[in-house]
Structure 1
């Protein structure tokens, strides 16, 4: 361990023998970093990847030089399909400890498989296209694209989340459930997956089981032996039947039978049928009343659920947008670092140009500052040349953009100031033109450059324009 105050090597002492600095807090921080790393390792071994990421981030907060924690964090990111975040952690680890670092092997192994690396890049690009389709309302195209992405990169957690959101919007809850269960197999405690599953369960009224199903075979029992039933033959002696020989008597008997049957139906069956009809009608009325009351309550609950679902979708969409912007920043940082390592400073400058550094972590910002300090001269030259070229083509908007950014790097270059002032003048922006001419006068007093700038200010203030004014007054 090194003293954080003077850098001297110490062992178990609580006071630095060189500068007398109290090392107790530093030792406690290092112990906490190791403790969180061990807990994160346990989480990763049981595929609790979200928990592992959280604990490993805590470990790095207490000790950003904890190389095993940083390398393991990269592995966990890679396991969730976040190859960009994984590479950024490994690059930081390699810069901290260049020798005997497992991160070097991870980076080389990934770079040695260009097909796999290209596949990861393609899936990220396709995911961004699918996300753009969702913004434009083309959910069908986005769903087809996401299914192809997950076939190529089945560990991309955010791909599962976006596809599940599309299914939730379509109210295809069973498809969303299947997709989210696949995501849970990769990361058992992902908060977004659990939140979406809760939404599916509330909509379907069925609790999702995350345990694997077990199939049991039913054993067929032995069938009981059939008993043979033997029937004894019985001889029945029937007496001889008596038949009416009179047709009138036969018709009379039939008529009496019909009358008796009709009376029985009228007095016995009709009252019971009427009572049954009335009873069913009363039951239906009560049932319909209860149903209407329940439907009103259900409609109110559904409106609340729809509002919560919309809030959930909006929150998830914002998270996805933030993740995409952060991914782009880290991709550019990786390109810049690779070009800087290969001494291709022009490519490094192009990668750093326009990067939003607010999205970078503290460690990544240190790498950015290191590369930027080395290539800012190259960036200035490129911006200055691009501004000159745009000015010559009379593309004054482009010239102002490039020259302004060159001025932010080096604000005392006469060519940049002069071209910027004339770009504003030719565009018709009088005030900005005067401000830049005045800046030339302030920075180059009592020179021919200052006199030329003063003459242009006088002409602009007098609102006089001549054909000769369209050219710059460079020495």
Structure 2
């Protein structure tokens, strides 16, 4: 166990041997984390996955660095069909402990089996599509799709819940009971499963036995005298041999009599009933075909609407997956930057934090981001400025503008970044923006060599700057005389 302040190893004392900080609360929190982890492990071993998830979340709340609890939580999520949640836990674990971590093996195993990962991903998309079918009242399509989902991803507990709910809605309680029993085999204490089972039991008046059947007799072998020897629990039961007819003639006679009686019963009882059923079925099909022909156009239109809604659901799910992947990448870079920052490698921390989009971070993540930026902001600013200067020397003015604009936006605007940004605009031929940034250098840093060079550029291009200003004034006058109906178009032109 290491101190959370200075990362020094702790001993039996209540204070850190290096920084002297009191670590009693930390030790208690880590002890509780270990206790909750052990409870979660016990629940996972007996298939109490919901209870295991609750305990493991509490364990990580006490100690986010508990790698074993995080890896086990990922395994439990994976066992319930939540592959995205499992990968998130394993990625965080991998970044916290890059060496000798079983989570690395889990991630590599999933990535190697690309077909299986794609199949699971498609099953999640189809499950979301089934939800849309249910909301739109298309229960039959949802039921067919859910059966395919569970065939490709048999551990998706949510799929069993949704299919059983459809069966309950259609009052097919025995089918719902079978789906819920299958879900209980995966997670026997899931509250949603138990709640739905209770509804089925109230409707049918029959309890559901979720425990395996004990005491079933198992045939071990057959004795020499024809007796059957069974094993029932810990007891061995010997059943005496039954009387068996040994005469071949009697066997043949019984077989012939059975065939004759069966043929007579088939002729006098079964054949007329089958004929009548065939005629009735044919009449019903004729009526059904007539109704289908009458409603075919309406059905096609409805199916087209469902296809459009399905495509929208697929696009939404894909965008959510891409956003989740981008957020995971941002957290990976943030954790990498934090690790380098803790070790004092500010340059590496700056390189990692440059790849983070702070808009995708939570409040806690933004706090860490701001802490790192306060320390490595100058280093990152200098890196962007040096890149911009190299791009100017290479003649790549667009890349130079992009890098120097980032340098200007970090912290306070400095003279060198603004001056080189103006040079990049000037090299590109954008006189208006170049003059604007040169003017900022003149206004904020008068008397410096950069300010004198900037003023020379402004004076040399004064005619072009004046011409651009007059064009803007003319355009603004034209905008003010336009009608209200064209205001949006005119505003878009002015911004450009």
Please tell me the TM-score bracket, short chain as reference.
Answer: 0.5 to 0.7
Q: Deviations over 1:55-76 (max 9, x none)?
A: 987x79xxxx952588597356
Q: Deviations over 1:83-126 (max 9, x none)?
A: 554564898xxxxxxxxxxxxxxx55x6224xx455456468x4
Q: Tell me how far 1:330 sits from its aligned partner.
A: 0.9
Measure, in 1, the Cα distance between the counterparts of 2:162 and 2:387.
49
What is the SS of the residue equivalent to 2:364?
Answer: helix
1:164 aligns to 2:117 (yes or no): no
Counterpart of 1:392? 393
Counterpart of 2:149? 176
Measure, in 1, the Cα distance between the counterparts of 2:319 and 2:61.
32
Q: Tell me how far 1:395 sits from its aligned partner.
A: 0.6
Counterpart of 1:428? 429
State how 1:261-272 maps to structure 2 within 5 Å. none
Counterpart of 2:100? 112
Change (3 A) 1:69 1:429: closer
Change (3 A) 1:342 1:42: closer
1:225 aligns to 2:198 (yes or no): no
What is the SS of the residue equivalent to 1:225?
Answer: coil
What is the SS of the residue equivalent to 1:355?
Answer: coil
What is the SS of the residue equivalent to 2:409?
Answer: helix
What is the SS of the residue equivalent to 1:343?
Answer: coil
Q: Deviations over 1:431-468 (max 9, x none)?
A: 2111101110111124443232122123333139xxxx
**Aligned partners of 2:71 and 2:89 also within 8 Å:** no
Change (3 A) 1:294 1:43: farther
Measure, in 1, the Cα distance between the counterparts of 2:42 and 2:122.
25
Counterpart of 2:204? none
Measure, in 2, the Cα distance between the counterparts of 1:398 and 1:290.
68
**Aligned partners of 2:56 and 2:70 also within 8 Å:** no
What is the SS of the residue equivalent to 2:464?
Answer: coil
Q: TM-score, normalised by structure 2?
A: 0.51
State how 1:398-417 maps to structure 2 within 5 Å. 398-417=399-418
Q: TM-score, normalised by structure 1?
A: 0.53
Q: Whose RCO is larger (CA < 8 A, sep 6+)?
A: 1
Counterpart of 2:336? 335
State how 1:115-126 maps to structure 2 within 5 Å. 116=102, 118-119=104-105, 122=108, 126=111
Change (3 A) 1:286 1:120: closer
Q: Tell me how far 1:290 sits from its aligned partner.
A: 2.3
Change (3 A) 1:361 1:284: same
Counterpart of 2:454? 453
Change (3 A) 1:200 1:317: farther
Q: Tell me how far 1:145 sits from its aligned partner.
A: 1.9
**Aligned partners of 2:350 and 2:380 also within 8 Å:** yes
Change (3 A) 1:322 1:279: closer
Measure, in 2, the Cα distance between the counterparts of 1:457 and 1:342.
47
Change (3 A) 1:222 1:112: same
Change (3 A) 1:316 1:422: same
Measure, in 2, the Cα distance between the counterparts of 1:196 and 1:382.
56
Larger of the two Rg values belongs to structure:
1
Task: Tell me the number of residue pairs that the alignment of Structure 1 and Structure 2 aligns.
Answer: 325
State how 1:362-373 maps to structure 2 within 5 Å. 362-373=363-374
Measure, in 2, the Cα distance between the counterparts of 1:279 and 1:218.
43
Q: Deviations over 1:16-38 (max 9, x none)?
A: xxxxxxxxxxxxxxxxxx9xx98
**Aligned partners of 1:163 and 1:179 also within 8 Å:** no
Aligned-residue CA RMSD in angstroms? 5.1
**Aligned partners of 2:401 and 2:425 also within 8 Å:** yes
Change (3 A) 1:337 1:322: same
Counterpart of 2:195? none
Measure, in 1, the Cα distance between the counterparts of 2:419 and 2:242.
103
Change (3 A) 1:51 1:350: farther
What is the SS of the residue equivalent to 1:363?
Answer: helix
State how 1:63-142 maps to structure 2 within 5 Å. 66-68=61-63, 71=66, 74-75=70-71, 77-79=73-75, 80=77, 82=86, 84-85=88-89, 88=92, 107-108=96-97, 111-113=99-101, 116=102, 118-119=104-105, 122=108, 126=111
Q: Tell me how far 1:355 sits from its aligned partner.
A: 1.2
**Aligned partners of 1:161 and 1:193 also within 8 Å:** no
Measure, in 2, the Cα distance between the counterparts of 1:354 and 1:218.
64
Measure, in 1, the Cα distance between the counterparts of 2:163 and 2:355.
36
**Aligned partners of 1:340 and 1:348 also within 8 Å:** yes
Q: Deviations over 1:404-443 (max 9, x none)?
A: 1111124443221111001111112222111101110111
**Aligned partners of 2:126 and 2:145 also within 8 Å:** yes
**Aligned partners of 1:329 and 1:359 also within 8 Å:** yes
Measure, in 2, the Cα distance between the counterparts of 1:358 and 1:431.
31
What is the SS of the residue equivalent to 1:324?
Answer: helix
Q: Which runs of 5+ in 1 are unaligned?
A: 1-33, 92-106, 128-143, 150-158, 231-275, 465-475
Counterpart of 1:321? 322
**Aligned partners of 1:383 and 1:403 also within 8 Å:** yes
Q: Which runs of 5+ in 2 are unaligned?
A: 1-31, 79-85, 130-143, 186-209, 220-227, 229-240, 252-273, 466-496
Measure, in 2, the Cα distance between the counterparts of 1:332 and 1:78.
21
What is the SS of the residue equivalent to 1:445?
Answer: coil
